[in-house]
Structure 1
Amino acid sequence: MQVGTSVSVGSRQQLVGDSCLRRRIPPRYAALRAVAAAAGKEVTLLDYGAGNVRSVRNAIMKLGYSIKDVEKPSDISSAAKLIFPGVGSFGQAMRILKQKELVDPLKEYIDSGKPFLGVCLGLQLLFEGSEESGGCEGLGMIPGQVCEFDKATLGLPVPHIGWNDMSQKGPSPLLSGVGDKRVYFVHSYRAVPEPRNADWVLATTDYGDPFVAAVGKGNIYATQFHPEKSGATGLQILNNFLEPSTPASPPASPAASSLPKTHGLARRVIACLDVRANDRGDLVVTKGDQYDVREKEGERDVRNLGKPVELAARYFDDGADEVSFLNITGFRDCPLNDLPMIKVLKEASRRVFVPLTVGGGIRGFKDVNGTSYSALDVASSYFRSGADKVSIGSDAVDVAEEYIRSGVRTGQTSIEQISEVYGRQAVVVSIDPKRVYVADPSQVKHKCTKTSKPGPNGEQWCWWQCTVKGGREGRDLGAVELAQAVEALGTGEILLNCIDCDGAKQGFDHELVGAVSDAVSIPVIASSGAGVPEHFTQVFKATRCSAALAAGIFHRQEVNIADVKQHMAENLLPTRL
């Protein structure tokens, strides 16, 4: 299966999806596109092929525009409106732009003053250069350098992931009507406002220190945040670009309720959907107790709690900050042939304009024909289908064990390969640990925590053993050590489950979440154990975790996402309402 074009990265070949290849456009769509172009309702998309831009496409089409893809340099100069949704690493993006001879046409287009919108990396590339990828020269359109967030100085998790607010510097057509609403960021590097670029900066966001959130001059705009992932607010910003109006001062947002207004990076509430094929081959959202997902009576079919796309859309409407799909179907061949799940992602990204994560099977495979596929191939397929992040499970345990043993980064692991091409923010590692009690920490080599929940024999200490194969097999590896190892290899986020708490509805394991979030400098998502809205507020107040996730209580409508956020806001936690 062809999923991309080989691009040299260092001493090895990296595979990236290449949407700049010529496409077969159905005659009917070609005719509609011609009509849209004649009416000024066509957008040219510079998709250089490194990441998920499907959501950008869907957002543009939702606003009534057709899309023309850049297939050759002249397509840039002939564009009436150009959107550049940069995804991945700075160095990788510049290499591809140079290889495809797109740098000069892109600079000429921007200099012409025709409407241009850059997104995320599409903003960073406008600057003179970046520290990323060992130091790279940018397009040089805006003075200044792009630098990594300083973890030591900030004392905050990096990447900066989630919903944050902006401080607008004055009236702007792009941000008209946005006010103080939060937008979605996901990045490890940022441009800093300085006197040389002050005439470009439209808005800044604070994360320890202010960084550039949006720039603009004339018809040239770019955002560090992702409007296509920022819900209704992001769609409004895209519409402002496509249908510019007279600049207006940002209005104050009407109060959604009597809840207090909070500022800064919001704590995220994530809805997780365990997706599995039932005995008839249909994909359903399921949930079980201790990984048993079959009904306890009757025909013992897989428990069906709804259809994946419909539930994901409902959670988006309910205010979920992210939606995560975990594919728990056993693959008969390999994920690249997992067409139903790919279809779920494609359909969900048409209706869900917040980040989508997919997990399950993100590892190397060999199909029945003997053809080998890397974890990067698998991730590329999911990214091109609508995923923003991929979650790696059991494979990460194997990788971490080898790294801890050798202390060597080979560049060949799934984590390293995917983060090199798509950026560390695209890689999540899912950890499935269970509590192990010890009488004396010196008895084990693992990081131990003094517990407020003594063991069966009065033990005062515990560690959390990592498991694989859905919790059925334990490894001689602690959750803290695993998290530190995968961070060193390039992981951008930890999804921290807890086998002991799964399905108990007694709250998250604060000791586990605290131990791991204190041990790493990347965001940690707390999972397993939520039963009431208070449990989310409690874990955010007790630990440094950045997000909390639940599944069954949302599926069965025992708890509503809006109720969770209301409780958080009432307790003055930064919350996207």
Structure 2
Amino acid sequence: MLAKRIIPCLDVKDGRVVKGVNFVNLRDAGDPVELASIYDREGADELVFLDISASHEGRATMVEVVQKTAGEITIPFTVGGGIASVDDMKRLLRAGADKIGINTAAVKNPQLVSDGARKFGSQCIVVAVDARYNAEWGEWEVFTHGGRNGTGIKALEWVKRIEDLGAGEILLTSMDADGTKDGFDLPLTKAVSELVTIPVIASGGAGKKEHFYDVFAQAKADAGLAATIFHYKEMTIDEVKQDLRVKGVEVR
């Protein structure tokens, strides 16, 4: 079994890290380059940067942030937000990103997943899936545009399709759990993890060390991603890893 990974997430808006609850009520959490450097030293296995404004100005800001960050850290990092073409991917990889995260663009143009995987390798393409439970369906629906737009696409069908298209990893965010600190969405994560063979990064809801154990032991996630608890020093990455080791989970 591969060692489980702990991944801090930096939601970047206008060059600053922000964090909210259920995708709204954002507050400032610091400088992305500074935070990335701290997490690298603290033992994070990887980092995820999401440009959540992804406007034209944001895009230029992000390239600059990626370049600065690449010079400061030694761990792999994924960059996502507003990436709509293979050229956008190339620009960020050249700036120093190790992997590219796509979400809205993948839904609009699934061919982009295949094109990116063919050009840069599957290991480079992370498809982010933002999902919310749809009581009418009794299943989860995929949302795009930073959680603003419902797509009418069933999440379980979509994750299978993106695996077939060549994605190397799925970054699965539960919009219901996001920022609540009540724990990861175990039913959603388990359903996706059991359906695909590529790694699944669980995101949304981490509030205690035990939540990471639960998402690995019960929902079979390959990595746990969190923001609020790390940004505001509610716990450290090392504390999470120590707790997992004690409980017999292999971590890096």
- TM-score by length of structure 2 reads 0.96
Pairing 1:496-515 to 2, within 5 Å after superposition: 496-515=172-191
2:7 to 267, 270, 276: 270
Matched, 1:574 2:250: yes
- How much has 1:473 moved relative to structure 2? 1.5
Determine the C-alpha separation between the residues in 1 that align with 2:159 and 2:207: 26
Q: Identify which of 47, 50, 59 aligns with 1:326.
A: 50
2:151 match: 475
Gaps of 5+ in 2: none
Contact in 1 for aligned 2:133/2:140 (Cα 8 Å): yes
Contact 2:184/2:203 (8 A) holds in 1? yes
User: Which is richer in helix?
Assistant: 2
CA deviations on 1:191-238 (whole Å, 9 max, x unpaired) are xxxxxxxxxxxxxxxxxxxxxxxxxxxxxxxxxxxxxxxxxxxxxxxx
Tell me whether 1:344 sits opposite 2:81 in the alignment.
no
Correspondence 1:83-102 to 2 at 5 A: none
Aligned counterpart, 1:16: none
Paired residues of 1:276 and 1:286 also in contact (CA < 8 A) = yes
Kindly indicate whether residue 92 of structure 2 is the aligned counterpart of residue 416 of structure 1.
Answer: no
Q: CA deviation at 1:347?
A: 1.3
State the partner residue of 2:80: 359
SS of equivalent to 2:29: coil
Aligned letter for 1:421? K
Task: Give the distance between the partners of 1:316 and 1:358, measured in 2 at CA.
Answer: 16
Question: Which residue of structure 2 lines up, in the alignment, with residue 485 of structure 1?
Answer: 161
Contact 1:428/1:492 (<8 A) preserved = yes
Q: Does residue 81 of structure 2 align to residue 383 of structure 1?
A: no
* 2:124 pairs with 1:426: yes
Q: Distance in 2 between matches of 1:332 and 1:548?
A: 30
TM-score by length of 1: 0.43
**Aligned with residue 523 of structure 1, among 193, 199, 211:** 199
Secondary structure of 1:390's counterpart equals strand
Give the Cα–Cα distance (whole angstroms) in 1 for the partners of residues 124 and 34 of structure 2.
24
Partner of 2:23: 291
Unaligned residue ranges in structure 1 (runs of 5+): 1-263, 278-282, 295-302, 364-374, 401-412, 439-443, 445-461
Provide the rounded CA distance (Å) in 2 between the counterparts of 1:559 and 1:397: 35
Give the structure with higher Rg (CA).
1
Q: Deviations over 1:327-382 (max 9, x none)?
A: 0124137x7xx33211211111112101010000111xxxxxxxxxxx11000000
Shift of 1:286: 0.4
Q: Is the 1:427–1:493 contact (alpha carbons within 8 Å) kept by the matching residues of 2? A: yes
Q: Secondary structure at the match of 1:508?
A: coil
Matched residue SS, 2:107 = helix
Aligned mates of 2:22, 2:222 — CA distance in 1: 25
Shift of the alpha carbon at 1:293?
Answer: 4.1
Determine the C-alpha separation between the residues in 2 that align with 1:345 and 1:473. 27
Alignment of 1:428-443 (within 5 A): 428-438=126-136
Task: Provide the secondary structure at the position in 1 that maps to 2:55.
Answer: coil
CA deviation profile, 1:263-289 (whole Å, cap 9, x unmatched): x52100001000011xxxxx1100012
- The one-character-per-residue Cα deviations of 1:301-339 (angstroms, maximum 9, x if unpaired) are xx2211000000000111000011000124137x7xx33
Alignment of 1:6-85 (within 5 A): none
1:235 aligns to what?
none
1:528 CA displacement: 0.1
**Which secondary structure state, in structure 2, belongs to the residue aligned with residue 572 of structure 1?**
coil
Q: Secondary structure at the match of 1:497?
A: strand
- The SS at the match of 2:224 is strand
Secondary structure at the aligned position of 1:432 is classed as strand
Are 1:495 and 1:527, in contact at CA under 8 Å, matched by a contact in 2? yes
Provide the C-alpha distance between the structure 1 equivalents of 2:190 and 2:120, rounded to a whole number of angstroms.
Answer: 29
- Indicate if the aligned counterparts of 1:358 and 1:387 stay in contact, CA closer than 8 A: yes
**Distance apart, 1:517 and its partner CA:** 0.8
Asked if structure 2 preserves the Cα contact closer than 8 Å seen for 1:531 and 1:559, the reply is: no
Q: Work out whether residues 106 and 113 of structure 2, in 8 Å CA contact, stay in contact via their aligned partners in 1.
A: yes
1:498 deviates by 0.6
Asked if 2 retains the 8 angstrom alpha-carbon contact of 1:286 and 1:293, the reply is no
Deviation of residue 437 (structure 1)?
Answer: 2.0
Q: Secondary structure at the match of 1:314?
A: helix
Q: What RMSD over aligned residues (CA atoms) do the two structures have, in Å?
A: 1.4
Cα shift at 1:291: 2.0
Q: Secondary structure at the match of 2:174?
A: coil
Query: Secondary structure of 1:500's match?
Result: coil
Contact 2:23 2:175 in 1 (8 A): no
- Kindly tell me the number of residue pairs found equivalent between the two proteins: 252
Cα deviation for residue 521 of structure 1 reads: 0.9
Q: Which has the higher contact order (CA 8 A, sep 6+)?
A: 2
Matches of 1:308 and 1:431, distance apart in 2: 23
**Contact 2:10-2:49 within 8 A present in 1 as well:** yes
Q: CA deviation at 1:475?
A: 1.6
Q: Distance in 1 between matches of 2:95 and 2:150?
A: 33
Q: 2:29 aligns with which of 305, 318, 332?
A: 305
